[in-house]
Structure 1
């Protein structure tokens, strides 16, 4: 039987390893748009790096409501679903700080040269950090297996 995660378990699950999350927005015409993304945590906030003029970036300008879901695909499964409001952060220092958190999570073992290369891309013109401020969580832990 599945069990709800505590807040600490939820944070640990989201911070563990290099699992990706599905980031879902609503396009201006109402169609959903969901894609896998790298992310990092800042407290309970979820940070995602993206281009301001991508489908995601344009959708967020019209409707900042998002859903972010991270899962463990190994049976009997675990997942965290976050619904919240996204803030687009374009201040270069904040974009660098958020992007560095993401880079260290996913590229930390690859070495500083690889991290620096990704940071050059992640902080290039038009790149932003999206800070998702959670309003609702569903966090289910696997039991057994």
Structure 2
């Protein structure tokens, strides 16, 4: 997955490392949005967000159906402070990429993610950042 560099102020970076959840928006095949809460990790130096999920989950199916042009948005909010990360997404079950996603998740949330047999990672190459009050 190609990664686009993006600028992230230190205050926004600190905000996004808190062990909070975010909303994750994908587009269904009919174009309507599907929004779900997720836990995620951010690799700001690489411009990559990772969301672990089941291959059969609606969000994973939506990203896969969108192909290489699949765009998503992830937004973490706390009152009137928020950061939205947008970019192209892809689903993978590559063992090395999945292991890295699990490792980062475990560090951030101090517990391993759920481990269903069909665990995959949605990788988002961030190319747009929006924020308020950070």
TM-score, normalisation: structure 1: 0.76
Q: How does 1:58-69 map to 2 (within 5 A)?
A: 58-63=61-66, 64-69=70-75
RMSD, aligned α-carbons = 1.8
Q: Which residue of structure 1 aligns with residue 10 of structure 2?
A: 8
Distance 1:6 1:28, change over 3 A: closer
Whether the aligned pair in 1 keeps the contact of 2:8 and 2:129 (CA below 8 Å) is no
Whole-Å separation in 1 of the counterparts to 2:9 and 2:21 = 19
1:87 and 2:90 aligned: yes
Count of aligned pairs between the two proteins: 123
Are the counterparts in 1 of residues 64 and 90 from structure 2 also a CA contact under 8 Å?
A: no
Using the alignment, how far apart are the partners of 1:99 and 1:89 within structure 2?
Answer: 13
What is the match of residue 96 of structure 1?
A: 99
Partner SS, residue 13 of structure 1: helix
Q: Which residue of 1 aligns with 2:4?
A: none
Rounded to whole Å, the distance in 2 between the matches of 1:52 and 1:82 is: 22
Instruction: Answer 1 or 2: which has greater helix percent.
Output: 1
Aligned-residue offset at 1:6? 5.5
Equivalent-residue separation in structure 2 for 1:6 and 1:49 (angstroms) = 23
Partner of 1:72: 78
Structure 2 residue runs without a partner (length 5+) = 1-6
Cα deviation, 1:54-97, whole Å, max 9, x if unaligned, reads 11111001222101100112xxx210011111122211122122
The structure that has the greater radius of gyration is: 1
In structure 2, the partner of 1:134 is 126
